[in-house]
Amino acid sequence: MSDLARRAEKLDASDELAAKRAEFELDDTVYLDGNSLGALPAAVPGRVEDVVRRQWGRLRIRSWDESGWWTAPERIGDRIAPLVGAAPGQIVVGDSTSVNVFKALVAAVRMAGPGRDEIVVDSSTFPTDGYIAESAARMTGCALRPVLPAELPGALGARTAAVLVNHVDYRTGRLHDLPSLTAAVHAAGALAVWDLCHSAGALPVGLDEHGVDLAVGCTYKYLNGGPGAPAYLYVRRELQDRFDSPLPGWNSHVNPFGMSPAYEPAPGALRGRVGTPDILSLLALEAALEVWEGVPVEAVRAKSLALTDFFLECVTAYVPPGAVECLTPLAHAERGSQVALRCADAGDVMERLIDRGVVGDFRHPDVLRFGFTPLYVGFADVERAARVLGEVLGGGLG
């Protein structure tokens, strides 16, 4: 056994989160793609079966009340809230991330002061955010200004209505400084909208603490909600009365069963709801979130950094010099929970890794992406992944 393998063994033995792995359905694959699709929590299959067979199959329509279907979007939002540093009553779950970006940006522009007619968007963001921001700008009469997060503070001004930034870059894994960027947006008199897809469940976000105005995120990465599970929308309590949705569906009406032809919005976070909630996916997500019981997000962050540090150390030891280039910042304050390595023939390399039981993903044109979900990835997994990468890239054992 190599030194690194022994180190991994010790790290696993002292890992306070190690027992969480048993709450997921895993095999002997090293699954480092939880930043794309989280693994299956063991509580989900039984819950989904109950939702399908009993709640839908036997209670049918009665389940809207009796099984708590109607209130699921806000109840599950409250379950996500502590993971992103939000007090209850500010998050609703439903729709896709893209649809929620649209709600958040249009509502932000409508809340911005007069004369503010520019939406600033992180130009390095996941493309859908940029596409939707372009549509939101077009439909609200705003200009769209794509800017790199590092250049954001200098780009803000009296015209800025809203700023959309991705908390962690989906490609490089770079973590952007949410507190200071939010403060800069506020100093310019604009609203800050954050996309938490790659940070929620992997590190503390502190939405309330840092005064974030609006936020969106998906639930199928570090929150393990399942493929295409519904996304969520956070609206800071102080802004909720002014949240003017571009998608005012009947679920956001103050009296949805009054069937009034005149729209009157519900109070609170409910304003973020649109149409009938997607119950099967919502309740699968609710079961998935139970694994967070008693898990402080700070402990998750500490393990996440230990995992990525150890991975980088193992890569240095096992991979031939020059074969990969790390795109992920080394500074902890700038690192999410993934490591991106640039290398030649990355698509082919990833296929060979997967053949050998190490699953990450490939991002066009030359990036190997490895995501580390602290709830179920251990240090021995990390050592093995780096070792197999070294073998594939032609290195010996370090």
Among 52, 87, 150, 158, binds a copy of itself (CB under 8 A): 52
As a whole number of angstroms, the distance between CA 202 and CA 304 comes to 7
Backbone angles phi, psi at 228, to 5 degrees: 65, 20
Backbone angles phi, psi at 120, to 5 degrees: -100, 130
Q: Which of residues 286-325 bind a copy of itself (CB under 8 A)?
A: none
Among 23, 361, 381, 383, binds a copy of itself (CB under 8 A): 361
129 annotated ligand-binding residue: yes
Among 85, 130, 390, 395, binds a copy of itself (CB under 8 A): 130
Q: Which of residues 204-233 bind a copy of itself (CB under 8 A)?
A: 218, 220, 226-231
Residue with token string 């909630």: 277
Asked if 340 interacts with a copy of itself (CB under 8 A), we say no
User: Minimum distance from CB of 19 to a copy of itself (Å)?
Assistant: 20
Q: Which of residues 249-268 bind a copy of itself (CB under 8 A)?
A: 249-251, 253, 257-261, 263
As a whole number of angstroms, the distance between CA 52 and CA 47 comes to 9
Q: Is residue 70 a contact partner of residue 64, using CB atoms and an 8 Å limit?
A: yes
250 annotated ligand-binding residue: yes
User: Minimum distance from CB of 45 to a copy of itself (Å)?
Assistant: 5
- Token pair recorded at residue 223: 């929150």
As a whole number of angstroms, the distance between CA 245 and CA 267 comes to 12
Among 6, 10, 16, 49, binds a copy of itself (CB under 8 A): 49
Q: What residues form DSSP beta bridges with 91?
A: 234
Q: What residues form DSSP beta bridges with 147?
A: 122
- By C-alpha distance, which of 363, 365, 371 is closest to 171? 363
Instruction: Write the CB contacts of 172 (distance below 8 Å, at least 6 apart in sequence).
Output: 124, 327, 328, 329, 340
Q: Which of 220, 232, 318, 376 is catalytic?
A: 220
Stretch that binds a copy of itself, among 81-89, 202-210, 239-247, 343-351 (CB under 8 A): 239-247
Asked if 246 interacts with a copy of itself (CB under 8 A), we say yes
182 annotated ligand-binding residue: no
98 annotated ligand-binding residue: yes
- Cβ closer to a copy of itself: 319 or 349? 349
Q: 43-50 and 279-288 are packed helices; what angle lies between their axes, rounded to 10 degrees? A: 150
Asked if 352 interacts with a copy of itself (CB under 8 A), we say no
292 annotated ligand-binding residue: no
Clarify whether 369 is annotated catalytic: yes
- Token pair recorded at residue 302: 């500490």
Q: Which of 79, 221, 236, 303 is catalytic?
A: 221
Q: Which of 195, 278, 361, 381 is catalytic?
A: 195
Q: Which of 24, 126, 243, 310 is catalytic?
A: 126
Measured in residues, the chain has a length of 398
- Token pair recorded at residue 63: 């389940």
Binding region for pyridoxal 5'-phosphate: 97-98, 126-129, 195, 198, 220, 250, 276
